[in-house]
Structure 1
Amino acid sequence: MPVILGRLADAFAVLGGAILLIIVGVTTANAGAFILDRIAAFFSADVAGLPGYEDFVQLMISGAALMFFPYCQAHRGHVSVDLFMERMPQVLRRQIDRAWLGLTAGMALFLAYWMIYGLIEARADGVLTSVLGWPVWPFYLPGIASMILWALVAMSQLGEGARHA
């Protein structure tokens, strides 16, 4: 696999992890606000949770979750059934691996296509989040880029001859 694809997959995973840390921080702040609200109720006070918390988390996780797929593919971290595969001849294992790499690349491109279609529709319809009023379509972009990178990594591995059986 070309070094640039591997580094790009690593960068996507790090960015996805950073987004998850931000989500954890916002979730902690929101939960803390609810705890403070329960305590403040004894003093006839009110502490509000973060407005738009659900909108924010939904939009952020939609991209962050997909950003780990290219890294997983680059490091061959996908699930395989070794129980059956280890008993097969090396030639057959290589062919099955190549078939799955091709299928994975095709599936990732298929998902990217439909995400692009969804982005176009969300933009044309002017879809906004219910509380924050943010446009939804820009949050499709990290997912689309992740699907395309995932497909490129799988195609690169396919081009290498699928060394790892």
Structure 2
Amino acid sequence: MHAHVTRLADIFAMLGGVILFVIVMVTTTNTGAFILDRILAPVGVNVSGLPGYEDFVQLAISGAALMFFPYTQASRGHVAVDLFVANAPMVVKRVLDHMWLILTAAVALFLAYWMINGLLESRSDAAVAGVLGWPIWPFYIPGIASMILWAIVSVSQIFGDARYA
């Protein structure tokens, strides 16, 4: 089970990376258009930027950024302070680690809960992006899924991690 959850976290991170790549490409295109506009303006040629660029980046980054949390948890890439427990008995390290994993799962589920509320409120308000007119609520879904996966990864580490075996 732990291996499958870790693999899913890898897939989420790769999808987040693809979204970030698209954001970079759109940003590069938009910036290139502004540069061309400044270069060609003296000869009477206008090159416009991408309409709704800011909307797209805001909506895309909101999900992509959260898609890395499960991977970071799965690879134990989060900040750990071992200074005070470096010489503690293994049982103390295991108990502290399990407590933090449970707390991490609880925080992730808490965030998912509030994101679900935000999704529902955004949907009921029919909130849309200012320029593009895209509904905002679907962009909550990757973040909610990421928070739930982050919690699952944390819990799976309690039962499947060989770190303190």
Offset at residue 37 of structure 1 (A)? 0.8
Q: CA-to-partner distance for each residue in 1:89-131, whole Å, 9 max, x for gaps?
A: 2221111111100000000000000000000000000000000
Query: What letter is aligned with 2:125?
Result: D
Over the aligned positions, Cα root-mean-square deviation in angstroms equals 1.2
Aligned letter for 2:163? H
Looking at structure 1, the residues matched to 163 and 104 of structure 2 have their Cα atoms a distance apart, in angstroms, of 15
Q: Distance in 1 between matches of 2:7 and 2:40?
A: 49
Normalization by structure 1: what TM-score? 0.95
**What is the match of residue 164 of structure 1?**
163
Superposed, which structure 2 residues align to 1:56-135 within 5 Å? 56-135=56-135
Deviations 1:63-102 (A, max 9, x none): 0000011111111111101222313222211111111000
Aligned-residue identity in percent: 64
Partner of 2:42: 42
Which residue is 1:31 aligned to? 31
Give the conservation status (yes or no) of the 8 Å contact 2:2–2:157.
no
Unmatched 5+ stretches in structure 2: none
Which amino acid in the other structure matches residue 44 of structure 2? S
- Deviation of 1:157 after TM superposition, in Å, equals 1.0
Paired letter, 1:149: L
Match of 2:145 in 1: 145
Distance 1:103 1:49 in 2: 45
CA distance in 1 between partners of 2:148 and 2:90 (Å): 30
Could you tell me how far apart the structure 2 residues matched to 1:88 and 1:27 are?
49
- What are structure 1's unaligned runs of at least 5 residues? none
CA distance in 1, matches of 2:50, 2:84: 50
CA apart distance, 1:35: 0.4
The TM-score, its normalising length taken from structure 2, stands at: 0.95
Runs of 4+ in 1 over 4 A off after TM superposition: none
Aligned residue pairs total: 164
Shift of 1:18: 0.4
